[in-house]
Amino acid sequence: MTKAKGKLFIKTFGCQMNVYDSERMGEALAEAGYVTTDTPENADLVILNTCHIREKAAEKVYSELGRLKQIKTARERQGHGTTIAVAGCVAQAEGREILSRAPVVDLVVGPQSYHRLGDLISRAGQKRGGIIDIDFPEDDKFKHLPARPKVARSPSAFLTVQEGCDKFCTFCVVPYTRGVEYSRPVREIVEEAGRLAQAGVREITLLGQNVNAYHGNSGRSEPASLAQLLRALAEIPELERLRYTTSHPRDMSDDLVALHGNLEKLMPYLHLPFQAGSDRILAAMNRKHTRDDYLELVRRIRAARADIALSTDIIVGFPGETDEEFIRTLEVVKSVQFSQAYSFKFSPRPGTPAAAMDDQVLEEVKSSRLQELQAVLNEQQAAFNASCVGWNLDDVSYKAFRAICVHCLKVR
Ligand code: 5AD
Ligand code: SF4
């Protein structure tokens, strides 16, 4: 049996891919002898798994480190050491800067190095001044992480199938923090999904920054598409529900759209960011689609699956966005009718082209646009929720999930 190493506390910021990564880190460290705890005050090892997508998200990490500094000092007085690690996208993007800004940090580890975590933590414990590993190794980190546990923590699980992005939207840090697109091989994913199913999982959400660009090794000459991967996973008898997120409109291939109409296990829910409604802004964002492309795609998806619930991401106040251009965004929202949406004020991220563009929009203009947009989105969400009232959940064939909505992951 592995000797107990101490207590571990992981705090996760940001997207579902970070939630998945935190789970895998937790599992790897459990194998190395760590036991999880719910509070940093009890922890010998604290990991912050961070997000760099908007300035607010990154700043949260530094305020959390301020709190951890006090905890570390208090624990020292009681004779306990604490190792503090910063993982995730802030680690990747800011590297050494974290150690100078927050000397309380012992280890900075990028998302591609989690399989080396055990070794890095012991080295960090021996070296003063902190250590950094933010390489993009050639190696597939997933191959080196331990297999998923034998008993699932929940009937619903995430499974990362694709990482990184080659789209280079001009506002986005992902291509820099997560690197170029990489798809895991089909066999590896099917094995992991099979193990999750054996452990009691009944619903899997496939994750990727650009998940529908998936093109993993199929063992044949042609790589597998996301639609082919979904079909392969649907063959696992214990799995009752499949979802995937996040998708780019450009990569919604015909076979994937059609699958929404003919793969029963694929849930009637799709997250499809459109970001902005003006073609000029979409071009400046390098989105590679127009407003009409998006609306036509929504029409085709609804033709395949009429009751699909659509959610989206929207940015207001991209550099140069005029009032008229913002109205184009409202028009798209009104025309599509989303069940849910995430909307953000444009946040200039260091190193991205949009951060250096002229005509940055005033903060108060961004705020009032966001407010106006969110009022419409809230109405749409309320209308969608109201449409679900009165469902007889016993009629839903997926008995194991009676309490979980088929459209989203929320417990109803
Ligand atoms: N400013 C505001 N929102 C952003 N997003 C990504 N980068 C930025 C940024 N610089 C939003 C996009 C994306 C979601 C994950 O976060 O809408 O789809
Ligand atoms: Fe970022 Fe998504 Fe654009 Fe990729 S497609 S650059 S992850 S917003």
287 Cα to the center of ligand 1, angstroms = 12
Q: Does residue 361 have a pLDDT over 70?
A: yes
221-244: pLDDT as tens digits: 999 999 999 999 999 999 999 999
368 Cα to the center of ligand 1, angstroms = 18
97-144: pLDDT as tens digits: 999 999 999 999 999 899 889 899 989 877 778 999 998 876 778 888
Q: Which ligand is nearest to the Cα of residue 314, counting in written order? A: 1
Q: Which ligand is nearest to the Cα of residue 211, counting in written order? A: 2
- Please give the backbone phi and psi of residue 161, each rounded to the nearest 5 degrees, phi first: -115, -15
Evaluate: CB of 344 within 6 angstroms of ligand 1.
yes
Q: Which ligand is nearest to the Cα of residue 165, counting in written order? A: 2
At 168 the pLDDT is 96
Percentage of the chain exceeding pLDDT 70? 93
At 389 the pLDDT is 78
Q: Mean of the pLDDT values across residues 339-357?
A: 96
Q: How confident is residue 310, by pLDDT bands cut at 50, 70 and 90? A: very high
At 407 the pLDDT is 56
349 Cα to the center of ligand 1, angstroms = 10
At 398 the pLDDT is 39
Q: Which of 138-152, 269-283, 321-335 has the lowest mean pLDDT?
A: 138-152
Which is more confident, 140 or 273? 273
Q: Has this prediction a pTM greater than 0.85?
A: yes
Nearest CA to ligand 1 atom 17: 313
